[in-house]
């Protein structure tokens, strides 16, 4: 996404109204292009063009922008002088936010809706000068790129008592808390340095690896990208979703929690075939139901997060089992080889800056543990990593153990308990929301309780999803939480999740969770301030790596009972990664469907058995 791009392609609906509000004229197109332009007098216009239609120029003066639904790719611009309203829909959310941002910055620095209007004499003088210079009033040019001076001026106006396009918010609409971007006036939200829900923030820029994958995702190719923990996979995926038109884009994940993080639904819910462990005929009948079939017909781009947790048979005939009876990975399937046309691996680690720790994690990821690594991790057992009352979170391999620890620690506190109950849009969907959200239906808190933040508030101050804190007080019935850098009065937030049928469920709850203990499984994607690990009960390949990689450095981790026998990696996964890296090293990211024979030959050369190459994917556990 070019931060200076002053154009946008989306569906438009333009309506002209008379003095009585009656629509007198309409224009609609599913794929029109909007462009921000200037005339010779430096007046700004919004150009609307579409195939087989005449181009229109709408003067950007006296406009009102309604952008409440930017995250859904929708917005409207009301041209008071032109007596018309432009409705935008199916716009890539990230590109829409960026476009409106450029419009706002240019208007507040020029003489459009935001600048001081020029007098009639000034306009005549300027017009006369332009005519003498041989410039036509009907000649339009693209606006210049946004400068730092323009951006700073726009931010100053947006963060003041009011702005040139948006009045000051009323007392009834004050922000819920400091740094809560969701409740700012729209210009403040557009110009926020934090990453917003639409994924258009400026604070974190894509690196070259990520830009290459983002570009490939818009080329129409089916692709797969992976990377070690902390390389920005989730961040990049949100950028990709924000860069695609909402209509026809289905975001899914293998688990409810992962699906919620990307604003999607679970894959098995969207597919409409349950866990996929039924017969092929039964799965076909389920998928042929009217609602499910319609969802599949509308789907143009299917996104699957955490695909490594999805078994091979889920994608093909579940009766085609491996002769050994083992569970097979998605990349071992015939469907994978026929569908995936490009593969990429992210290699730049952002979560950790400690090179020694990064090296240790890279070794553990492939199941390699030297005596030096064992000794270094055992030394952390005596480290003091608690700071100012914020205790280390114990990562456990079983959810039952997590619940028991948190409940016991909470009951041990001698302070008054306060119960916070969620407000759900559908009382009958409590269990479904519990499965898809970290925010619980019921949350009991006390002063002294160790908690984890479940929403991004302010990235620059470390108030992000996964930040650890301790409750120090209750103010007006709300918890005051002390984090590493500052205190925050935490207010209720809203979560939205999609069901397989497309229905949206919502939950309003405090964005907090008890955090004396947390499960390794649910910690995926999180960065934790201070972590205590007990790896003696690890039961899956790669689980020790996931747990260790939640920490930012060796100084913020404490491993109580490190045992190298608990660290191992699946050999089939390692074989696939060796093949993948060989392809990438040779500059061959692409795996065209037409060269399946060549692919099979390459896999055979690596010693992979034919039974693996010919078998399909698996079922969701």
Please work out, in degrees rounded to the nearest 5, the angle formed at the alpha carbon of residue 82 by the alpha carbons of 80 and 85.
65
Q: What length does the chain have?
A: 621
Burial of 161 (0-12, 13-18, 19+ CB in 10 A): exposed
Per the CB < 8 A criterion, the answer to whether 251 and 497 are in contact is no
Q: Rounded distance, CA 163 to CA 189, Å?
A: 13
The closest alpha carbon to 515, from 561, 560, 550, 555, belongs to: 550
What mean pLDDT do residues 213-237 have? 88
Distance CA 42, CA 454 (A): 46
* Confidence (pLDDT) at 266: 84
What pLDDT is recorded for position 171?
Answer: 46
pLDDT in tens, 339-364: 888 889 898 888 878 889 888 888 88
Q: How confident is the model at residue 589, as a pLDDT?
A: 58
Residues 258 and 296 in one domain: yes
- Determine the average pLDDT of the residues in 403-413: 95
Helix (H) / strand (E) element for 87: namely strand 84-89
Residue with tokens 């556990």: 621
- Residue 199: inside a domain, yes or no? no
For residue 463, how many other CB atoms are within 10 A of its CB? Answer: 25
Q: Regarding predicted confidence, which is higher, 337 or 176? A: 337
- Confidence check: pLDDT of 25 > 70: yes
Residues 345, 371 within the same domain: no
| pLDDT, average across residues 42-64 | 89
Q: How far is CA 22 from CA 17, 25, 87, 588, in A?
A: 5, 9, 16, 59
Alpha-helix residue ranges (DSSP H) falling in 272-347? 280-287, 290-298, 334-339
Instruction: Check pLDDT > 90 for residue 157.
Output: no
Domain count along the chain? 3
Average pLDDT over all residues of the chain: 79
Predicted TM-score of the model (pTM): 0.74
Statement: residue 141 has pLDDT above 80: yes
Structure tokens at 541: 């390949």
Domain span including residue 109: 7-144
Of 23-37, 454-468, 585-599, the range with the lowest mean pLDDT is: 585-599
Q: Do 562 and 463 reside in the same domain of the chain?
A: yes
- In this model, does residue 139 exceed pLDDT 70? yes
Tell me the DSSP string of 225-282.
EEE-TTSSHHHHHHHHHHTS-STTEEEEESSHHHHHHTT-EEHHHHHTSTTS-S-HHH
Q: Which residue has the higher pLDDT, 63 or 562?
A: 63
CATH number, position 115? 2.30.29.30
Q: Does 327 map to a domain? A: yes
Closest CA relative to residue 34, chosen from 75, 68, 72: 75
In a domain? residue 601: yes
**Interaxial angle between packed helices 371-379 and 355-365, expressed in degrees from 0 to 180 and rounded to the nearest 10:** 120
CA distance 339 to 124: 62
Compute CA 553 distance to the chain's CA centroid, rounded to the nearest angstrom: 24
Greatest mean pLDDT among 254-263, 297-306, 507-516, 582-591 lies in 507-516
Give the residue, 353 or 407, on which the prediction is more confident.
Answer: 407
Instruction: Specify whether 82 is located in the same domain as 133.
Output: yes
Tell me, yes or no, whether 157 lies in a domain: no
Report the sign of the C-alpha dihedral through residues 38, 39, 41, 46, in that order: negative
Model confidence at 523, pLDDT cuts 50, 70, 90, reads: confident
Report d(CA 34, CA 493) in Å as an integer.
Answer: 34
488 in the same domain as 378: yes
pLDDT of residue 70: 87
Do 359 and 295 share a structural domain?
yes
With a CB cutoff of 8 Å and minimum separation 6, the contacts of 120 are none
On whether residue 124 sits in a domain, the answer given is yes
* Banded pLDDT at 175 (limits 50, 70, 90): very low
Using the 3D structure, point to which of 120, 144, 168 is the last residue of a domain. 144
Tell me: pLDDT of 408 over 90: yes
Helices within 413-525 (DSSP H only) = 430-436
Is the domain of 404 the same as that of 510? yes
Residue 48 scores a pLDDT above 90: yes
Same domain, 102 and 224: no
Confidence band of 126 (pLDDT split at 50, 70, 90): low
- Residue 236, domain member (yes or no): yes
d(C-alpha 553, C-alpha 593), whole Å: 42
Q: Residue 161: its pLDDT value, please?
A: 47
In a domain, 184, yes or no: no
Backbone torsions φ then ψ of 456, nearest 5 degrees: -80, 120
CB atoms under 10 Å from CB of 178, counted, come to 13
Q: What is the CATH number of the domain that holds 223?
A: 3.40.50
Distance CA 155, CA 143 (A): 19
Confidence of residue 115 (pLDDT cuts 50, 70, 90): very low
**Local structure of residue 528 (DSSP, 8 states):** B
Token pair for residue 300?
């143009």
- Domain membership of residue 159 (yes or no) is no
Q: How confident is the model at residue 256, as a pLDDT? A: 78
By the 8 A CB rule, do 237 and 214 touch? no
pLDDT digits (tens, 9 = 90+) for 410-429: 999 999 999 999 999 998 88
Same domain, 505 and 397: yes
> 435 and 542 share a domain?
yes
Q: Do residues 218 and 332 both lie within one domain? A: yes
* Coarse DSSP helix, strand, coil percentages of the chain, rounded to the nearest 5 percent: 35, 25, 40
**318 pLDDT more than 90:** no
End-to-end CA distance of the chain: 37
Bridge-based pairing state of the strands 84-89 and 44-49: unpaired
pLDDT computed for residue 325 by the predictor = 52
Q: What is the pLDDT of residues 548-573, one digit of tens each?
A: 888 888 988 998 888 777 787 778 88
- At residue 124, the pLDDT reads 61
Say if residue 449 is in the same domain as residue 552.
yes
Are 570 and 542 contacting, i.e. CB atoms less than 8 angstroms apart? yes
What proportion of the chain, given as a percentage, has pLDDT over 90? 25
What's the confidence (pLDDT) of residue 561?
80
Neighbour count for residue 338 (Cβ, 10 Å) = 13
Q: Does the pLDDT at position 475 exceed 90?
A: yes
Mean pLDDT of 441-459: 92
Q: In the prediction, which pLDDT does 618 show?
A: 28
pLDDT category of residue 165 using cuts at 50, 70 and 90: very low
Indicate the range of 47-51, 323-327, 495-499 predicted with least confidence.
323-327
pLDDT beyond 50 at 119: yes
Average confidence (pLDDT) over 271-279? 73
């Amino acid at each position: 996404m070019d931060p200076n791009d002053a154009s946008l392609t989306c569906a438009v609906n333009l309506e002209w109204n008379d003095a009585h509000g009656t629509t007198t004229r309409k224009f609609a197109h599913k794929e029109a292009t909007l462009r921000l332009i200037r005339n010779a007098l430096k007046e700004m216009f919004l150009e609307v063009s579409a195939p087989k239609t005449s181009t229109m120029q709408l003067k950007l003066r006296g406009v009102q922008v309604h952008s409440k639904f930017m995250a859904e790719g929708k917005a409207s611009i009301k041209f008071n002088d032109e007596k018309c309203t432009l409705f935008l829909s199916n716009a890539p959310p990230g590109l829409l936010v960026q476009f409106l941002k450029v419009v706002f910055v240019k208007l507040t620095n020029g003489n459009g809706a935001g600048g001081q209007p020029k007098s009639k004499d000034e306009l005549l003088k300027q017009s006369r000068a332009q005519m003498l210079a041989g410039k036509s009033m009907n000649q339009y040019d693209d606006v210049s790129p946004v400068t730092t001076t323009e951006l700073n001026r726009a931010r100053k106006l947006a963060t003041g008592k009011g702005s040139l396009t948006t009045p000051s918010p009323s007392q009834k609409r004050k922000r819920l808390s400091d740094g809560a971007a969701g409740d700012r006036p729209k210009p403040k939200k557009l110009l926020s340095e934090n990453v917003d829900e639409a994924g258009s923030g400026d604070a974190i820029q894509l690196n070259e690896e990520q830009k290459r994958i983002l570009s490939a995702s818009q080329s129409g190719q089916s692709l797969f990208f992976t990377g070690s923990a902390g390389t920005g996979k989730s961040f990049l995926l949100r950028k990709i979703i924000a860069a695609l038109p909402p209509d026809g884009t289905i975001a899914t994940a293998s688990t409810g929690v992962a699906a919620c993080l990307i604003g999607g639904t679970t894959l098995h819910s969207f597919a409409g075939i349950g866990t996929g462990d039924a017969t092929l005929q039964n799965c076909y009948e389920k998928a042929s139901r009217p609602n499910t079939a319609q969802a599949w017909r509308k789907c143009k781009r299917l996104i699957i997060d955490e695909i490594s947790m999805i078994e091979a048979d889920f994608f093909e005939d579940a009766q085609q089992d491996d002769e050994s009876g083992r569970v097979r990975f998605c990349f071992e399937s015939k469907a994978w080889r026929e569908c995936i046309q490009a593969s990429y691996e992210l290699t730049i680690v952002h979560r950790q800056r400690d090179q020694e720790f990064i090296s240790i994690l890279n070794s553990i990821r492939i199941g390699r543990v030297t005596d030096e690594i064992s000794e270094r991790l055992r030394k952390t057992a005596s480290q003091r990593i608690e700071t100012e009352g914020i205790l280390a979170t114990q990562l456990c391999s079983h959810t039952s153990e997590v619940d028991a620890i948190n409940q016991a620690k909470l009951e041990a506190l001698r302070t008054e308990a306060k119960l916070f109950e969620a407000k759900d849009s559908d009382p009958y969907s409590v269990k479904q929301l519990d499965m898809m959200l970290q925010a619980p239906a019921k949350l009991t808190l006390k002063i002294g309780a160790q908690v984890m933040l479940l929403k991004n508030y302010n990235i620059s101050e470390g108030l992000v999803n996964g930040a650890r804190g301790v409750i120090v007080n209750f103010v007006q019935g709300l918890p005051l939480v002390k984090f590493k850098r500052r205190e925050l009065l935490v207010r209720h937030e809203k979560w939205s999740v999609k069901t397989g049928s497309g229905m949206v469920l919502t939950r309003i709850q405090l964005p907090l969770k008890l955090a004396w203990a947390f499960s390794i499984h649910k910690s995926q994607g999180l960065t934790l301030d201070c972590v205590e690990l007990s790896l003696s009960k690890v039961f899956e390949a790669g689980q020790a790596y996931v747990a260790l990689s939640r920490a930012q450095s060796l100084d913020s981790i404490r491993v109580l009972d490190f045992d190298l026998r608990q660290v191992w990696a699946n050999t089939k996964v390692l074989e696939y990664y060796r093949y993948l890296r060989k392809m990438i090293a040779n500059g061959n990211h692409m795996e065209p469907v037409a060269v399946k024979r060549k692919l099979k030959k390459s896999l055979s050369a690596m010693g992979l058995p034919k039974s693996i190459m010919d078998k399909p994917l698996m079922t969701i556990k």
